[in-house]
């Protein structure tokens, strides 16, 4: 006897829709809402564009920048303030971290762990150990060339922790495949940061997000130059002294030119 196969269960018959079947299922028109822990980014507008309303913990996040150490720290500072006393690991940064400036920005005594390695394989090993230990609140890992297999391995290890794990890569790697659950591209602007969400768990983001920073270094620089133009310049030198020195050098150059031409 032939029997008709059972009809598929309609999502309207599920109490919570299709999303109730599994936490990793979401509709393409909405942001994913699962049980993964998050940390507020510190920006209301950015939280509204991130699944679960913040940075995912225990997940691989990629931040792509045109020039390292220009915008990523400024973007992450509000979140780093909410880590409590857990240290922040800075792995293979492009420049030597300035601890006093960091403490001034955060207004908190958060311990920093600076790790510099001569070999790429040593950096990967250090990243694994930090994620496995789980004592650091955040791991910021700067990488210019890293294979997808290495990223996938770190992502799997990070899932066993509650660490804010962020890999900073060049903007040119935007077209490269990545296992990251969240990918952002940052571009500095005159008064803040432009954020392009390249990948997230949920609907595609087509519109760039602008985050205004009232203490942006560009604005701070302009304020210093306009309010104290006759005292000090942005390099901390006395402007009057430099101006006088330039005039004296110009006078000497004119004298030498006249002397060589036979002019008295």
The reply to whether 2 falls in a domain is no
Give CA–CA dist 72/65, Å, rounded.
8
Decide if 111 is inside a domain: yes
Smallest CA-to-CA distance from 187 within 217, 211, 155 is with: 211
**C-beta neighbour count of 39 within 10 angstroms:** 20
Tell me, yes or no, whether 129 and 193 share the same domain: yes
Alpha-carbon distance of 189 to 71, in angstroms, equals 10
Classify burial at 145, counting beta carbons within 10 Å of its beta carbon; exposed 0-12, middle 13-18, buried 19 or more. exposed
CA distances in angstroms from 89 to 105, 141, 156, 188, listed in the order given: 17, 8, 19, 24
109-112: long-range pairs with CB below 8 Å, 24+: 110/80, 110/81, 110/83, 110/85, 110/86, 111/85, 111/87, 112/87, 112/88
Contact 73, 57 (CB under 8 A): no
Q: What distance in Å separates the CA atoms of residue 243 and residue 66, rounded to the nearest whole number?
A: 35
Q: Is 121 helix (H, G, I), strand (E, B) or coil?
A: helix
Residues with Cβ within 8 Å of 127's Cβ and at least 6 positions away in sequence, in order, are: 91, 139, 141, 154
| Residue 86 tokens, joined | 């857990």
CA angle 82, 83, 84 (to 5 degrees): 95
Instruction: Tell me the CATH number at 81.
Output: 3.40.50.300
Q: Are 257 and 192 members of one domain?
A: no
One domain, residues 159 and 255: no
Domain check: are 157 and 257 in the same one?
no
| pLDDT given for residue 38 in this prediction | 95
pLDDT (0 to 100) of residue 240? 44
Read out DSSP for 205-251?
Answer: P-S-EEEE-TT-HHHHHHHHHHHSTTTB-TTS-BHHHHHHHHHHHHH
Per-residue confidence (pLDDT) for residue 15, from 0 to 100:
52
Q: Which residues of the chain have pLDDT under 50?
A: 1, 7-14, 218-246, 248-250, 253-254, 257-258, 260-261, 263
The answer as to whether 3 is a domain residue is: no
Q: What is the pLDDT of residue 70?
A: 78
How does DSSP classify residue 198? E
Please report the pLDDT score of residue 85 as a whole number: 85
CA–CA dist 245, 20 (Å, integer): 74
| 101 within some domain | yes
Are 199 and 106 in the same domain?
Answer: yes
State how far the Cα of 49 lies from the Cα of 32, in Å rounded to an integer.
Answer: 11
Contacts of 163 (CB under 8 A, 6+ apart): 57, 58, 130, 131, 134, 136, 137, 138, 139
Quote the pLDDT of residue 233.
34
pLDDT tens digit sequence for 7-63? 444 444 445 555 555 556 656 656 767 778 999 999 999 999 999 999 999 999 999
User: Is there a single domain that holds both residue 176 and residue 101?
Assistant: yes
Tell me phi and psi for residue 24, to 5 degrees.
-90, 10
- Asked if 134 and 233 sit in the same domain, the reply is no
Q: What is the pLDDT of residue 24?
A: 62
Q: Measure the CA–CA gap between 134 and 25, rounded to whole angstroms.
A: 28
Q: Residue 169 is inside which H or E element, if any?
A: strand 164-170
Q: Residue 27's pLDDT is what?
A: 65
């Amino acid at each position: 006897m032939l029997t008709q196969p059972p009809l598929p269960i309609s999502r309207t018959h599920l109490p919570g829709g299709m999303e109730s079947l599994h936490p990793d299922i979401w509709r393409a028109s909405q942001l994913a809402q699962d049980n993964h822990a998050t940390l507020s980014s510190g920006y209301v507008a950015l939280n509204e564009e991130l699944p679960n309303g913040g940075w995912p913990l225990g997940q691989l996040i990629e931040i792509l920048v045109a020039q390292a150490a220009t915008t990523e720290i400024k973007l992450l500072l509000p979140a780093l303030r909410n880590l409590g006393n857990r240290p922040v690991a800075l792995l293979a940064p492009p420049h030597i971290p300035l601890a006093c400036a960091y403490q001034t920005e955060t207004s908190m005594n958060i311990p920093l762990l600076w790790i510099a390695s001569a070999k790429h394989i040593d950096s990967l090993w250090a990243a694994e150990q930090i994620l496995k230990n789980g004592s650091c609140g955040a791991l910021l890992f700067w990488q210019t060339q890293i294979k997808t297999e290495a990223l996938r391995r770190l992502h799997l290890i990070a899932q066993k922790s509650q660490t804010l794990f962020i890999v900073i890569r060049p903007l040119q790697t935007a077209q490269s495949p990545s296992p990251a659950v969240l990918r952002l591209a940052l571009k500095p602007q005159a008064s803040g940061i432009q954020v392009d969400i390249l990948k997230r768990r949920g609907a595609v983001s087509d519109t760039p997000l602008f985050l205004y920073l009232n203490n942006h270094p560009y604005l701070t620089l302009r304020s210093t130059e306009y309010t104290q133009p006759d005292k000090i310049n942005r390099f901390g030198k006395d402007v009057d002294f430099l101006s006088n020195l330039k005039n004296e050098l110009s006078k000497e150059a004119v004298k030498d030119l006249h002397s060589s031409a036979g002019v008295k």
